[in-house]
Copies of this chain bind each other. A is one copy, B any other.
């Protein structure tokens, strides 16, 4: 039984805490029968929540923790809470007791804790935060970095491309995911030197299991033209939040429009199934689960406001990445960036 992969769950994070984390984990377990769980948090609360989920209880071990990382805690304060559910969940991955950790806690704290405990993989300078975004194409798109690194150089961007492609091969079952770099135009001379250098390296690195297809602009994120979109953490975070905000803006306008007259209210009632479809497609719970890529272990961030289904998605993301051993895959791909000397010489070339 102990040979089955285990996932560490921070049961205390998120706006609604233990109940939602347990309900979501129980839901995810149904899709991954072989998984086992380590549940970190207040033992009494977890036990009470598990009363509703006997199947999860049978597959889990509860490990009591006596403190919680608050949403207002700075990363430095969170790091000092060694006996928090978040810290202990990450420590379990470090110790090899679990292969992945899932937390709905404070992103900055989770990132700091995970980086310090798990360290970056050989060949990776900095981890990146990656998430799935909906598109009009056949599959979602993976965007990274979403805020782990405010500033990035060309090496970072190339590494993000390799890590994102490894994730895309697993998430979308593709051999050579289409990778694009976010830029403010599609011509070769557009953007910063870092982006142009990263593009030069990716264009040359033909042995990598990805297909580099040049630049992409913000208006094409949802077009389905890329399986992986690579950007620095600042503009990635701005793009992600702008997309969320705009989707909400448009649906708010729509709601206003639909309640502006009796006639449009009637139309709304009749087309409710259509609206339901729209809401389903845009529901962030269906895309919940951002992954820190590039660490020695899988760490998944669930949105603080996620519901049962959202938490289940985040746990599912962790389970898939564990089952497909993303860490080993990224390590192999990193070795395949022909050799870093060649990359470096290319970068020096354009820096002249």
Contacts and interface: CB of A to CB of B under 8 A. Distances in A.
Contacts of A244: 218-219
Contacts of A240: 218
A245 B219 contact: yes
Given A246-B246, A249-B136, A282-B253, A238 B184 contact: yes
Given A235-B234, A238-B235, A267-B267, A245 B273 contact: no
Interface stretch (A34-42, A161-169, A254-262): A254-262
A275 B261 CA distance: 12
Contacts of A239: 218, 238-239, 242
A264 B223 CA distance: 24
Most buried by B among A147, A223, A261, A277: A277
Could you say which interface size class chain A belongs to? 35 or more
A113 B222 CA distance: 34
A221 interface: yes
Interface of A: 134, 136, 147, 150-151, 182, 184, 191-192, 217-223, 231, 233-235, 237-254, 257-258, 260-261, 263-264, 266-275, 277-278, 281-282
Please give me the 9 A-B residue pairs with the lowest Cβ-Cβ distance, nearest first.
Answer: A267-B271, A218-B241, A219-B245, A267-B270, A218-B242, A264-B274, A257-B274, A246-B246, A184-B237
